[in-house]
């Protein structure tokens, strides 16, 4: 009975399906309609393409992809800071050093006592701005009440270290010895010529080989040509180098590496801030650097002192200073070369920070133990954001003791 059912099932489904595969998979029995369907699909596709082309020809052209506008965080921070000051009618604090749009700019506040002590240039850390609430803003707003003119600079985005090249290196193909030493075949041939019939010959020995191997050529001059060579050597003049060769060396300018170019740009910004304070009549100058900006401050001061070793009236305050790894800069070694009063404040107590602080203290105190002091303060999270916080009061006390200036006229200063 079971066999009859299978036979009946095969008879009913035979015209539609057939068991072609050995594993029992069912395949369509009649595929005569596939070419027709394929042709119909092709015709439909061609018709759709033609309609699209006609629409493109009759209608508007296709939309081209537009370039994406990448955000610039530093520019955005400057814009938001200026907007914030505008809400409190404090636009006069924004200062530009020139009329150019890309000029160095910052926030300026004059002293409020009538007894000026000097000018302070404030440098913010990475991913911050000239009105950063925890450190920069309290300092620039607090110190003018004690006779200090403050100028807080805006910095652009810091350079990022490039990722390592992960592409596989191309291996040099193995070359035989004959290719490595192209003179090997020549030496073997010379040795074979000199060892004819198992006898060695020496240079200058008359064996008759040259006469036998001399080709019969009408253009070959068998006469002695030593006189002609002597005449050429006597009349030889040095040839002049073409102008194109001389200009090639001048046109091929060596490009500055990006890390060196970034360090130079940061140094130019700090130098521009110091010149602006000089223009405003401030010559007793203090730099307050937070984080990575300590590297640019130290490099600028080092350059100024190398050009004029006898210059006076400079002080340096560091807040959580960090050594720059890219571009690489030896902060501790360069800081030890500065013979000026230095205050090193830190608010972090991690193990890495402790080792770096101890290394910096040892490097500086070996060179100038009297001008350097390192002081620890509570974390910035526990310090209030108002201008009378612990950092501002500590800085003001140190400035009064180690960097206070006095107002003098130009005549008294020259005398």
Percent over 70 (pLDDT), the chain: 59
pLDDT digits (tens, 9 = 90+) for 149-159: 999 999 887 88
Taking 60 as the threshold, does the pLDDT of residue 301 lie above it? Answer: yes
How many independent structural domains does the chain possess? 1
**Residue 315 belongs to some domain of the structure:** yes
Residue with tokens 């602080």, as numbered in its chain: 357
Mean pLDDT on 138-166: 89
C-alpha dist (Å) from residue 280 to 24, 71, 284, 334, 411: 95, 35, 12, 29, 17
Residue 293, pLDDT score: 95
Mean pLDDT on 325-333: 92
**Residue 341 belongs to some domain of the structure:** yes
Structure tokens at 328: 């690489």
Question: Phi then psi for 198, rounded to 5 degrees?
Answer: 75, 10
Taking 50 as the threshold, does the pLDDT of residue 37 lie above it? Answer: no
Alpha-helical regions (H) of 59-156: 73-87, 136-142
**Residue 370 belongs to some domain of the structure:** yes
pLDDT digits (tens, 9 = 90+) for 67-88: 666 678 888 888 899 899 999 9
Residue with tokens 């939309």, as numbered in its chain: 63
**Residue 11 belongs to some domain of the structure:** no
**Residue 128 belongs to some domain of the structure:** yes
Cα–Cα distance between 410 and 408 in angstroms, integer? Answer: 7
pLDDT digits (tens, 9 = 90+) for 256-291: 888 889 999 999 999 999 999 999 999 999 999 999
DSSP string covering 210-230, please?
HHHH----TT---S--HHHHH
Q: Return the CATH number at 295.
A: 3.40.50.1820
Domain with 350, as residue range(s), is 95-158+261-414
Residue 6, pLDDT score: 72
> Which residues 6+ apart lie within 8 Å of 277 measured at CB?
119, 121, 149, 151, 285
- What's 325's DSSP letter? B
For the CA atoms of the chain, what is the radius of gyration? 42
The model's pTM: 0.64
**Residue 237 belongs to some domain of the structure:** no
**Residue 399 belongs to some domain of the structure:** yes
> Which residues 6+ apart lie within 8 Å of 76 measured at CB?
none
> Which residues 6+ apart lie within 8 Å of 117 measured at CB?
111, 146, 147, 148, 284, 399, 403, 404, 405, 406
Are 387 and 137 in contact, with CB atoms under 8 Å apart? yes
CA neighbor of 149 nearest in space, from 158, 139, 135: 139
Strands of the sheet with 118-123, listed across from one edge: 94-96, 105-109, 148-153, 118-123, 285-290, 314-319, 342-346, 372-376
Question: Phi then psi for 399, rounded to 5 degrees?
Answer: -65, -40
**Residue 76 belongs to some domain of the structure:** no
């Amino acid at each position: 009975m079971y066999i009859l059912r299978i036979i009946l099932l095969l008879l009913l489904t035979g015209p539609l399906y057939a068991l072609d595969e050995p594993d029992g998979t069912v395949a369509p029995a009649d595929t005569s309609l596939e070419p027709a369907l394929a042709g119909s699909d092709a015709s439909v596709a061609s018709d759709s393409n033609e309609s699209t082309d006609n629409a493109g020809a009759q209608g508007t052209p296709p939309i081209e992809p537009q370039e994406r506008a990448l955000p610039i965080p530093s520019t955005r921070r400057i814009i938001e800071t200026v907007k914030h000051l505008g809400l409190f009618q404090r636009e006069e604090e924004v200062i530009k050093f020139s009329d150019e749009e890309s000029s160095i700019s910052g926030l300026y506040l004059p002293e409020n006592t009538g007894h000026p002590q000097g000018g302070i240039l404030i440098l913010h850390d990475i991913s911050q701005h000239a009105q950063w609430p925890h450190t920069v803003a309290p300092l620039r707003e607090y110190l003018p009440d004690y006779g200090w003119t403050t100028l807080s600079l805006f910095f652009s985005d810091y350079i990022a270290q490039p990722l390592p090249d992960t592409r596989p290196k191309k291996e040099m193909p193995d070359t035989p010895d004959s290719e490595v030493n192209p003179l090997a075949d020549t030496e073997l041939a010379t040795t074979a010529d000199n060892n004819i019939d198992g006898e060695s010959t020496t240079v200058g020995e008359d064996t008759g080989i040259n006469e036998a191997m001399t080709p019969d050529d009408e253009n070959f001059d068998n006469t002695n040509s030593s006189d002609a060579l002597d005449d050429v050597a006597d009349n030889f003049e040095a040839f002049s180098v073409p102008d194109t060769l001389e200009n090639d060396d001048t046109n091929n300018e060596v490009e500055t590496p990006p890390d060196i170019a970034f360090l130079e740009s940061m140094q130019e910004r700090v130098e521009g801030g110091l010149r602006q304070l000089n223009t405003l009549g401030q010559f007793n100058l203090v730099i307050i650097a937070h984080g990575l900006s300590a590297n640019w401050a130290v490099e600028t001061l080092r350059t100024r002192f190398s050009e004029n070793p006898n210059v006076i009236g400079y002080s340096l305050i560091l807040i959580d200073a960090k050594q720059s790894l890219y571009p690489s800069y030896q902060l501790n070694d360069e800081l030890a070369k500065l013979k000026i009063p230095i205050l090193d404040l830190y608010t972090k107590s991690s193990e890495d920070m402790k080792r770096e602080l101890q290394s910096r203290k040892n490097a500086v105190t070996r060179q100038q133990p009297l001008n350097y002091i390192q002081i620890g303060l509570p974390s910035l999270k526990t310090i209030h954001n108002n201008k009378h916080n612990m950092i501002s009061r500590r800085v003001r006390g140190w400035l009064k003791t180690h960097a206070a200036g006095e107002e003098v006229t130009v005549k008294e200063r020259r005398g």
